[in-house]
A and B are shown apart, each in its own frame.
Chain A
Amino acid sequence: MNDISRRDVFRHGATAAVLVATAAGFASLASSGATAGPGRVAAADPRDFEETYKGKKIKGEHDKDKGKHKVHINGKKLGVMQVELPVAPDSTATYTAVLSTLNHFDPVPLDEGNNRDGLKKLAKLAVDQLGDQELTHDADHPHP
Protein backbone atom coordinates (compact mmCIF):
# COMPACT_ATOMS: atom_id res chain seq x y z
CA MET A 1 0.00 0.00 0.00
CA ASN A 2 2.77 2.41 0.87
CA ASP A 3 4.58 1.78 -2.38
CA ILE A 4 1.41 2.17 -4.36
CA SER A 5 0.58 5.44 -2.69
CA ARG A 6 4.03 6.83 -3.29
CA ARG A 7 3.79 5.94 -6.96
CA ASP A 8 0.43 7.64 -7.07
CA VAL A 9 1.84 10.80 -5.58
CA PHE A 10 4.20 10.91 -8.54
CA ARG A 11 1.44 10.09 -10.97
CA HIS A 12 -0.52 13.03 -9.65
CA GLY A 13 1.95 15.69 -10.52
CA ALA A 14 3.37 16.30 -7.09
CA THR A 15 6.76 15.09 -8.32
CA ALA A 16 8.56 18.39 -7.93
CA ALA A 17 7.19 19.04 -4.46
CA VAL A 18 8.11 15.54 -3.31
CA LEU A 19 11.66 15.87 -4.62
CA VAL A 20 12.11 19.23 -2.91
CA ALA A 21 10.74 17.87 0.34
CA THR A 22 13.00 14.84 0.12
CA ALA A 23 16.06 16.97 -0.49
CA ALA A 24 15.19 19.19 2.45
CA GLY A 25 14.58 16.06 4.47
CA PHE A 26 18.05 14.72 3.80
CA ALA A 27 19.56 18.08 4.70
CA SER A 28 17.86 18.23 8.07
CA LEU A 29 18.68 14.57 8.74
CA ALA A 30 22.35 15.28 8.10
CA SER A 31 22.43 18.27 10.42
CA SER A 32 20.49 16.58 13.19
CA GLY A 33 22.80 13.58 12.82
CA ALA A 34 25.81 15.80 13.39
CA THR A 35 24.46 17.18 16.65
CA ALA A 36 22.75 14.03 17.93
CA GLY A 37 24.14 12.38 21.02
CA PRO A 38 25.14 8.74 21.25
CA GLY A 39 21.72 7.81 22.70
CA ARG A 40 19.97 8.56 19.44
CA VAL A 41 18.43 5.40 17.95
CA ALA A 42 16.80 6.32 14.67
CA ALA A 43 17.02 9.36 12.46
CA ALA A 44 13.92 11.51 12.84
CA ASP A 45 11.56 12.11 9.94
CA PRO A 46 11.82 15.80 8.97
CA ARG A 47 8.04 16.05 9.38
CA ASP A 48 8.13 15.02 13.05
CA PHE A 49 6.91 17.68 15.48
CA GLU A 50 6.71 18.53 19.15
CA GLU A 51 4.98 21.76 20.12
CA THR A 52 2.17 23.27 22.15
CA TYR A 53 -1.21 23.89 20.53
CA LYS A 54 -4.08 25.50 22.47
CA GLY A 55 -2.36 24.68 25.73
CA LYS A 56 -1.79 20.99 24.93
CA LYS A 57 1.54 19.35 24.09
CA ILE A 58 1.34 17.62 20.72
CA LYS A 59 4.05 15.25 19.54
CA GLY A 60 4.14 13.41 16.22
CA GLU A 61 6.49 10.75 14.89
CA HIS A 62 6.17 9.56 11.31
CA ASP A 63 6.68 5.99 10.19
CA LYS A 64 7.30 6.37 6.49
CA ASP A 65 7.89 2.66 5.83
CA LYS A 66 5.03 1.01 7.68
CA GLY A 67 2.59 3.90 8.08
CA LYS A 68 2.34 3.30 11.85
CA HIS A 69 2.64 6.93 12.84
CA LYS A 70 2.59 7.98 16.47
CA VAL A 71 0.84 10.98 17.98
CA HIS A 72 0.84 11.91 21.67
CA ILE A 73 -1.27 14.65 23.26
CA ASN A 74 -0.16 15.71 26.72
CA GLY A 75 1.82 12.47 26.85
CA LYS A 76 -1.18 10.23 26.09
CA LYS A 77 -1.21 8.17 22.95
CA LEU A 78 -3.75 8.89 20.22
CA GLY A 79 -4.66 5.93 17.97
CA VAL A 80 -3.75 6.81 14.38
CA MET A 81 -4.53 4.81 11.29
CA GLN A 82 -3.16 5.33 7.78
CA VAL A 83 -5.58 4.67 4.93
CA GLU A 84 -5.60 4.77 1.15
CA LEU A 85 -8.46 6.58 -0.55
CA PRO A 86 -9.43 6.91 -4.22
CA VAL A 87 -8.55 10.25 -5.81
CA ALA A 88 -11.81 10.23 -7.82
CA PRO A 89 -14.66 7.92 -8.78
CA ASP A 90 -13.69 5.28 -11.34
CA SER A 91 -10.00 5.89 -10.78
CA THR A 92 -7.66 3.23 -9.43
CA ALA A 93 -5.25 5.93 -8.26
CA THR A 94 -5.22 6.55 -4.51
CA TYR A 95 -3.84 9.02 -2.01
CA THR A 96 -2.68 8.43 1.55
CA ALA A 97 -4.51 9.91 4.51
CA VAL A 98 -4.54 9.54 8.29
CA LEU A 99 -7.39 9.41 10.75
CA SER A 100 -7.51 9.07 14.51
CA THR A 101 -9.74 7.69 17.21
CA LEU A 102 -11.08 11.23 17.73
CA ASN A 103 -11.51 12.14 14.06
CA HIS A 104 -12.64 8.79 12.88
CA PHE A 105 -14.63 9.65 9.80
CA ASP A 106 -12.62 12.64 8.59
CA PRO A 107 -9.33 11.55 6.94
CA VAL A 108 -6.52 14.11 6.56
CA PRO A 109 -4.21 13.72 3.50
CA LEU A 110 -0.57 12.99 4.32
CA ASP A 111 2.43 12.88 1.98
CA GLU A 112 5.87 14.41 1.61
CA GLY A 113 4.71 17.23 -0.64
CA ASN A 114 1.87 19.66 -0.16
CA ASN A 115 0.35 17.53 2.59
CA ARG A 116 3.56 17.00 4.54
CA ASP A 117 1.94 18.52 7.64
CA GLY A 118 -1.01 16.08 7.54
CA LEU A 119 -0.14 14.34 10.80
CA LYS A 120 0.20 17.68 12.60
CA LYS A 121 -3.18 18.76 11.20
CA LEU A 122 -4.64 15.53 12.55
CA ALA A 123 -3.12 16.18 16.00
CA LYS A 124 -4.54 19.73 16.02
CA LEU A 125 -7.97 18.44 14.98
CA ALA A 126 -7.82 16.05 17.91
CA VAL A 127 -6.96 18.92 20.28
CA ASP A 128 -9.90 20.94 18.91
CA GLN A 129 -12.13 17.93 19.44
CA LEU A 130 -10.84 17.45 22.99
CA GLY A 131 -11.45 21.01 24.16
CA ASP A 132 -11.19 20.79 27.96
CA GLN A 133 -10.92 16.96 27.92
CA GLU A 134 -7.88 14.67 27.84
CA LEU A 135 -7.35 11.37 26.05
CA THR A 136 -8.08 8.11 27.90
CA HIS A 137 -6.24 4.81 27.44
CA ASP A 138 -9.02 3.84 25.03
CA ALA A 139 -7.84 6.56 22.64
CA ASP A 140 -5.05 4.20 21.65
CA HIS A 141 -7.07 1.41 20.13
CA PRO A 142 -5.28 -1.83 19.38
CA HIS A 143 -3.60 -2.19 16.03
CA PRO A 144 -3.11 -5.43 14.15
Chain B
Amino acid sequence: MGTRKSVAALTATEKSDFVAAVKALKAQTSGRNYDWFVRTHMTYFNAVNSHNYAHMSSSFLPWHRKFLLELENGLKAVNPAVNLPYWNWTANRSTTGAPFTSDFMGGNGSGGNGAVLSGPFAGSTRWRINVSATTSTSLRRAMTLRGSLPTTSDVDTVMGVSTYDVSPWGSSSGSGMRNRLEGGLTPNLHNRVHVWVGGHMAQVDSPNDPVFFLHHCNIDRLWSRWQTRWGFGTAQYLPGGGVANVVDVEEVLEPFGATVASTLDHRAGYTYA
Protein backbone atom coordinates (compact mmCIF):
# COMPACT_ATOMS: atom_id res chain seq x y z
CA MET B 1 0.00 0.00 0.00
CA GLY B 2 1.31 3.41 -0.91
CA THR B 3 1.20 6.72 0.91
CA ARG B 4 0.81 9.83 -1.20
CA LYS B 5 2.61 12.80 0.32
CA SER B 6 2.55 16.53 -0.25
CA VAL B 7 5.12 17.83 -2.75
CA ALA B 8 6.34 20.08 0.09
CA ALA B 9 7.16 17.04 2.26
CA LEU B 10 9.21 15.06 -0.28
CA THR B 11 12.86 14.27 0.43
CA ALA B 12 15.52 15.00 -2.21
CA THR B 13 15.63 11.27 -3.04
CA GLU B 14 11.84 11.03 -3.37
CA LYS B 15 11.88 13.97 -5.78
CA SER B 16 14.67 12.58 -7.93
CA ASP B 17 13.11 9.09 -7.92
CA PHE B 18 9.80 10.53 -9.07
CA VAL B 19 11.40 12.55 -11.87
CA ALA B 20 13.48 9.57 -13.00
CA ALA B 21 10.43 7.28 -13.09
CA VAL B 22 8.39 9.84 -15.06
CA LYS B 23 11.23 10.12 -17.58
CA ALA B 24 11.52 6.35 -17.85
CA LEU B 25 7.80 6.12 -18.61
CA LYS B 26 8.26 8.81 -21.24
CA ALA B 27 11.11 6.85 -22.84
CA GLN B 28 9.15 3.59 -22.86
CA THR B 29 8.40 2.70 -26.49
CA SER B 30 5.34 0.51 -26.09
CA GLY B 31 2.30 -0.04 -23.90
CA ARG B 32 0.91 2.64 -21.65
CA ASN B 33 3.85 5.00 -21.80
CA TYR B 34 3.71 8.68 -20.80
CA ASP B 35 2.41 9.86 -24.17
CA TRP B 36 -0.38 7.29 -23.96
CA PHE B 37 -1.71 9.30 -21.00
CA VAL B 38 -1.54 12.54 -22.99
CA ARG B 39 -3.35 10.97 -25.95
CA THR B 40 -5.97 9.30 -23.76
CA HIS B 41 -6.75 12.56 -21.99
CA MET B 42 -7.23 14.25 -25.37
CA THR B 43 -9.50 11.49 -26.67
CA TYR B 44 -11.60 11.36 -23.54
CA PHE B 45 -12.10 15.06 -23.25
CA ASN B 46 -15.00 14.54 -25.59
CA ALA B 47 -17.80 12.06 -25.45
CA VAL B 48 -16.77 8.49 -26.31
CA ASN B 49 -19.62 6.04 -26.97
CA SER B 50 -21.95 8.98 -26.15
CA HIS B 51 -20.57 9.14 -22.61
CA ASN B 52 -18.65 12.03 -21.10
CA TYR B 53 -16.35 9.82 -19.07
CA ALA B 54 -13.64 12.24 -18.08
CA HIS B 55 -14.92 15.81 -17.90
CA MET B 56 -18.08 17.79 -17.29
CA SER B 57 -19.77 14.75 -15.85
CA SER B 58 -20.34 12.85 -12.61
CA SER B 59 -17.52 10.46 -13.52
CA PHE B 60 -14.91 13.25 -13.63
CA LEU B 61 -13.61 12.15 -10.21
CA PRO B 62 -13.58 8.32 -10.61
CA TRP B 63 -12.24 8.58 -14.19
CA HIS B 64 -9.27 10.69 -13.07
CA ARG B 65 -8.76 8.43 -10.03
CA LYS B 66 -8.24 5.49 -12.41
CA PHE B 67 -6.13 7.64 -14.74
CA LEU B 68 -3.78 8.54 -11.85
CA LEU B 69 -3.64 4.96 -10.57
CA GLU B 70 -2.73 3.75 -14.04
CA LEU B 71 0.12 6.28 -14.21
CA GLU B 72 1.26 5.52 -10.65
CA ASN B 73 1.37 1.79 -11.52
CA GLY B 74 3.48 2.65 -14.55
CA LEU B 75 5.88 4.59 -12.33
CA LYS B 76 5.99 1.75 -9.79
CA ALA B 77 6.93 -0.67 -12.55
CA VAL B 78 10.07 1.47 -12.95
CA ASN B 79 10.65 2.00 -9.23
CA PRO B 80 8.32 0.38 -6.65
CA ALA B 81 9.23 3.05 -4.08
CA VAL B 82 7.57 5.82 -6.08
CA ASN B 83 4.18 7.20 -5.04
CA LEU B 84 2.31 10.06 -6.67
CA PRO B 85 2.70 13.25 -4.64
CA TYR B 86 0.02 15.96 -4.44
CA TRP B 87 0.30 19.72 -4.89
CA ASN B 88 -1.79 21.43 -2.23
CA TRP B 89 -2.21 24.81 -3.89
CA THR B 90 -3.98 26.30 -0.87
CA ALA B 91 -0.64 26.07 0.98
CA ASN B 92 1.99 26.15 -1.81
CA ARG B 93 1.06 29.22 -3.83
CA SER B 94 4.36 30.54 -5.15
CA THR B 95 5.67 30.22 -8.71
CA THR B 96 9.13 29.46 -7.31
CA GLY B 97 8.31 27.24 -4.30
CA ALA B 98 7.21 23.58 -4.24
CA PRO B 99 6.50 21.99 -6.67
CA PHE B 100 8.08 24.55 -9.06
CA THR B 101 11.67 24.13 -7.89
CA SER B 102 14.63 23.32 -10.14
CA ASP B 103 15.06 19.87 -8.51
CA PHE B 104 11.45 18.90 -9.26
CA MET B 105 8.97 20.45 -11.73
CA GLY B 106 11.06 23.46 -12.72
CA GLY B 107 9.79 27.02 -12.98
CA ASN B 108 7.75 29.34 -15.13
CA GLY B 109 7.89 29.78 -18.89
CA SER B 110 10.19 32.41 -20.36
CA GLY B 111 8.64 35.77 -21.06
CA GLY B 112 5.41 34.73 -19.39
CA ASN B 113 4.13 32.30 -22.02
CA GLY B 114 7.20 30.53 -23.36
CA ALA B 115 9.26 27.46 -22.70
CA VAL B 116 10.12 26.38 -19.16
CA LEU B 117 13.78 27.28 -18.57
CA SER B 118 14.74 25.47 -15.37
CA GLY B 119 14.51 21.96 -13.97
CA PRO B 120 14.39 18.43 -15.37
CA PHE B 121 11.56 19.15 -17.83
CA ALA B 122 13.06 22.28 -19.43
CA GLY B 123 13.75 22.10 -23.16
CA SER B 124 12.87 19.46 -25.73
CA THR B 125 16.03 17.39 -25.26
CA ARG B 126 15.17 16.79 -21.59
CA TRP B 127 11.41 16.48 -22.08
CA ARG B 128 9.99 16.36 -25.59
CA ILE B 129 6.35 17.23 -26.30
CA ASN B 130 5.20 14.69 -28.90
CA VAL B 131 1.39 14.82 -28.75
CA SER B 132 -0.16 18.29 -28.58
CA ALA B 133 -2.64 20.76 -30.02
CA THR B 134 0.25 23.20 -30.56
CA THR B 135 3.61 22.94 -32.31
CA SER B 136 6.05 23.60 -29.44
CA THR B 137 8.22 20.60 -28.64
CA SER B 138 9.25 22.18 -25.33
CA LEU B 139 7.08 22.33 -22.22
CA ARG B 140 5.47 25.75 -21.71
CA ARG B 141 4.01 27.53 -18.70
CA ALA B 142 2.41 30.92 -18.23
CA MET B 143 1.88 31.10 -14.50
CA THR B 144 -0.42 33.73 -12.93
CA LEU B 145 -1.38 35.40 -16.24
CA ARG B 146 -4.92 34.01 -16.01
CA GLY B 147 -6.84 31.94 -13.50
CA SER B 148 -6.16 31.82 -9.76
CA LEU B 149 -5.46 29.40 -6.94
CA PRO B 150 -8.34 28.39 -4.64
CA THR B 151 -8.11 29.18 -0.94
CA THR B 152 -8.65 26.99 2.12
CA SER B 153 -12.10 28.49 2.58
CA ASP B 154 -12.99 27.65 -1.06
CA VAL B 155 -12.01 24.05 -0.32
CA ASP B 156 -14.00 24.00 2.93
CA THR B 157 -17.10 25.24 1.09
CA VAL B 158 -16.90 22.34 -1.36
CA MET B 159 -16.18 19.76 1.36
CA GLY B 160 -19.36 20.84 3.16
CA VAL B 161 -21.66 19.98 0.24
CA SER B 162 -23.15 16.58 1.12
CA THR B 163 -24.70 15.70 -2.26
CA TYR B 164 -22.17 14.24 -4.73
CA ASP B 165 -23.81 15.53 -7.92
CA VAL B 166 -27.19 16.57 -9.32
CA SER B 167 -29.06 16.28 -12.61
CA PRO B 168 -28.29 16.89 -15.45
CA TRP B 169 -24.92 15.46 -14.23
CA GLY B 170 -22.84 17.74 -16.44
CA SER B 171 -21.27 21.17 -16.77
CA SER B 172 -24.65 22.78 -16.08
CA SER B 173 -25.34 20.98 -12.78
CA GLY B 174 -26.41 23.87 -10.53
CA SER B 175 -25.55 22.17 -7.26
CA GLY B 176 -23.67 19.26 -5.74
CA MET B 177 -20.04 18.78 -4.76
CA ARG B 178 -18.69 17.49 -8.11
CA ASN B 179 -19.36 20.53 -10.30
CA ARG B 180 -18.08 22.89 -7.59
CA LEU B 181 -14.90 20.83 -7.39
CA GLU B 182 -14.51 20.41 -11.16
CA GLY B 183 -15.22 24.04 -11.88
CA GLY B 184 -18.49 24.49 -13.79
CA LEU B 185 -19.79 26.02 -10.59
CA THR B 186 -18.20 28.43 -8.13
CA PRO B 187 -15.85 28.27 -6.20
CA ASN B 188 -14.22 26.06 -8.92
CA LEU B 189 -11.27 24.15 -7.47
CA HIS B 190 -10.01 22.27 -10.54
CA ASN B 191 -10.38 24.29 -13.75
CA ARG B 192 -8.82 27.52 -12.59
CA VAL B 193 -5.61 25.83 -11.43
CA HIS B 194 -5.07 24.54 -15.00
CA VAL B 195 -5.56 28.12 -16.18
CA TRP B 196 -3.25 29.55 -13.49
CA VAL B 197 -0.34 27.31 -14.52
CA GLY B 198 -1.07 28.06 -18.19
CA GLY B 199 0.95 26.89 -21.18
CA HIS B 200 0.36 23.20 -21.80
CA MET B 201 -1.64 22.90 -18.56
CA ALA B 202 -4.34 25.14 -20.09
CA GLN B 203 -4.71 22.89 -23.15
CA VAL B 204 -6.48 19.65 -23.97
CA ASP B 205 -3.05 17.98 -23.83
CA SER B 206 -2.47 19.22 -20.25
CA PRO B 207 -0.90 15.91 -19.06
CA ASN B 208 2.18 16.96 -21.09
CA ASP B 209 3.07 18.95 -17.97
CA PRO B 210 3.87 16.48 -15.15
CA VAL B 211 2.35 19.05 -12.78
CA PHE B 212 -0.97 17.81 -14.17
CA PHE B 213 -0.63 14.64 -12.09
CA LEU B 214 0.31 16.53 -8.91
CA HIS B 215 -2.70 18.82 -9.34
CA HIS B 216 -5.06 15.94 -10.04
CA CYS B 217 -3.60 14.02 -7.12
CA ASN B 218 -4.70 16.94 -4.95
CA ILE B 219 -8.17 16.86 -6.55
CA ASP B 220 -8.32 13.13 -5.75
CA ARG B 221 -7.16 13.83 -2.18
CA LEU B 222 -9.98 16.34 -1.75
CA TRP B 223 -12.50 13.83 -3.05
CA SER B 224 -11.06 11.32 -0.56
CA ARG B 225 -11.42 13.93 2.20
CA TRP B 226 -15.04 14.45 1.16
CA GLN B 227 -15.55 10.67 1.22
CA THR B 228 -14.01 10.45 4.69
CA ARG B 229 -16.66 12.90 5.86
CA TRP B 230 -19.69 11.71 3.88
CA GLY B 231 -18.91 8.07 3.12
CA PHE B 232 -16.93 5.81 0.76
CA GLY B 233 -19.98 3.67 -0.13
CA THR B 234 -21.75 3.36 -3.46
CA ALA B 235 -24.75 5.31 -2.12
CA GLN B 236 -22.55 8.40 -1.90
CA TYR B 237 -21.93 8.41 -5.69
CA LEU B 238 -24.62 9.74 -8.00
CA PRO B 239 -26.28 8.94 -10.35
CA GLY B 240 -27.12 5.55 -8.91
CA GLY B 241 -28.46 4.12 -12.15
CA GLY B 242 -30.72 4.40 -15.14
CA VAL B 243 -29.36 7.67 -16.54
CA ALA B 244 -28.55 7.32 -20.24
CA ASN B 245 -25.19 8.72 -21.41
CA VAL B 246 -23.97 9.30 -17.85
CA VAL B 247 -21.68 6.83 -16.10
CA ASP B 248 -23.79 5.38 -13.29
CA VAL B 249 -22.19 3.80 -10.25
CA GLU B 250 -22.23 0.25 -11.65
CA GLU B 251 -21.21 1.29 -15.18
CA VAL B 252 -17.73 0.74 -16.60
CA LEU B 253 -15.24 3.59 -16.96
CA GLU B 254 -13.51 3.38 -20.32
CA PRO B 255 -10.75 2.80 -21.29
CA PHE B 256 -10.00 1.26 -17.88
CA GLY B 257 -12.64 -1.48 -17.88
CA ALA B 258 -13.45 -0.85 -14.20
CA THR B 259 -16.76 0.20 -12.69
CA VAL B 260 -17.19 3.44 -10.81
CA ALA B 261 -18.10 1.39 -7.72
CA SER B 262 -14.70 -0.33 -7.79
CA THR B 263 -12.88 3.01 -7.56
CA LEU B 264 -14.75 4.48 -4.61
CA ASP B 265 -12.93 2.99 -1.64
CA HIS B 266 -9.24 3.44 -2.49
CA ARG B 267 -7.93 2.92 1.05
CA ALA B 268 -6.66 -0.63 0.51
CA GLY B 269 -4.51 0.63 -2.40
CA TYR B 270 -3.22 4.01 -1.22
CA THR B 271 -3.85 6.66 1.40
CA TYR B 272 -3.00 10.34 1.78
CA ALA B 273 -0.56 11.74 4.31
Chains A and B bind each other: yes
> Residues on A close to B: CB < 8 A?
79, 81, 83-86, 88-94, 101-106, 128-131, 133-136, 138-139, 141-144
Query: In B51-108, which residues have CB < 8 Å from any A CB?
Result: 56
Q: Report how far A85 CA is from B171 CA in the complex, Å.
A: 6
Closest to A103 in B: B202
* Most-contacted residue by chain B among A103, A134, A143 (CB, 10 A): A103
A129 to B174, CA, bound (A): 30
Smallest CB separation, A77 vs chain B (Å): 11
| Closest CB in chain A relative to B48 CB, distance in Å | 8
Question: Taking the nearest CB of chain A, how far is it from the CB of B91, in angstroms?
Answer: 22
Alpha-carbon gap, A93 to B172, bound state (A): 9
Measured CB to CB, the closest approach of chain B to A129, in angstroms, equals 6
Task: Among A102, A106, A131, point to the contact of B133 (Cβ < 8 A).
Answer: A102
Knowing A102-B203, A104-B206, A144-B46 touch, does A89 contact B192 (C-beta < 8 A)? Answer: no
In the complex, the answer to whether B179 meets A131 with C-beta atoms within 8 Å is no
From A86, A138, A143, contact of B205 by CB (8 A) = A138
Asked if B134 and A86 sit within 8 Å, CB to CB, the answer is no
Contact A131 B45 (CB under 8 A): no
Within 8 Å by CB of B134, from A93, A106, A133, A143, lies A133
Residues in B neighbouring A129, C-beta threshold 8 A:
113, 134, 142, 198, 202-203
Taking CB atoms, residues of chain B closer than 8 Å to A85 are 171-172, 184-185
Partner of A139, one of B133, B180, B192, B195: B133
A84 to B52 Cα, complex, angstroms: 14
**A90 to B180 CA separation, bound complex (whole angstroms):** 11
From B47, B135, B170, B204, give the contact of A104 (CB < 8 A): B204
B171 touches A83 (CB 8 A): yes
| Proximity bits, B160-194, A CB within 8 Å = 1, else 0 | 00000000001111110001100111100011101
Let me know if B185 and A86 touch, CB within 8 A.
yes
Q: How far is the CA of A120 from the CA of B50 in the complex (A)?
A: 29
Interface of A is mostly: loop
**In the complex, what distance in Å separates the CA atom of A45 from the CA atom of B186?**
32
Q: Which residues of A contact B203 (CB under 8 A)?
A: 101-104, 129
Query: How far, in whole Å, are A135 and B134 apart by their CA atoms in the complex?
Result: 5
Instruction: Give A118 Cβ to nearest chain B Cβ, in Å.
Output: 16
- In the complex, B123 has a CB within 8 A of chain A: no
Identity of the chain B residue whose Cβ is nearest the Cβ of A134 in the assembled complex: B135
| Contact indicator A84/B113 (Cβ below 8 Å) | no
Among B113, B134, B192, the most chain A Cβ lie within 10 Å of the Cβ of B134
Do the beta carbons of A141 and B45 come within 8 Å of each other? yes
Query: CB distance A86 to B179 under 8 Å?
Result: yes
Complex CA gap A94/B146 in Å reads 24
| B147 at the binding interface (Cβ < 8 Å) | yes
Complex Cα distance, B182 from A85, in Å, reads: 12
The answer to whether B185 and A84 have CB atoms under 8 Å apart is no
Q: How far is the CB of A132 from chain B (nearest CB, A)?
A: 8
Between-chain CB contacts (< 8 Å), 30 pairs: A84-B170, A84-B172, A85-B172, A85-B184, A86-B172, A88-B174, A89-B174, A90-B174, A92-B174, A101-B133, A102-B133, A102-B202, A104-B203, A105-B191, A106-B146, A106-B191, A106-B202, A128-B113, A129-B203, A131-B113, A133-B134, A133-B135, A134-B134, A138-B131, A138-B132, A138-B133, A141-B45, A142-B43, A142-B46, A144-B47
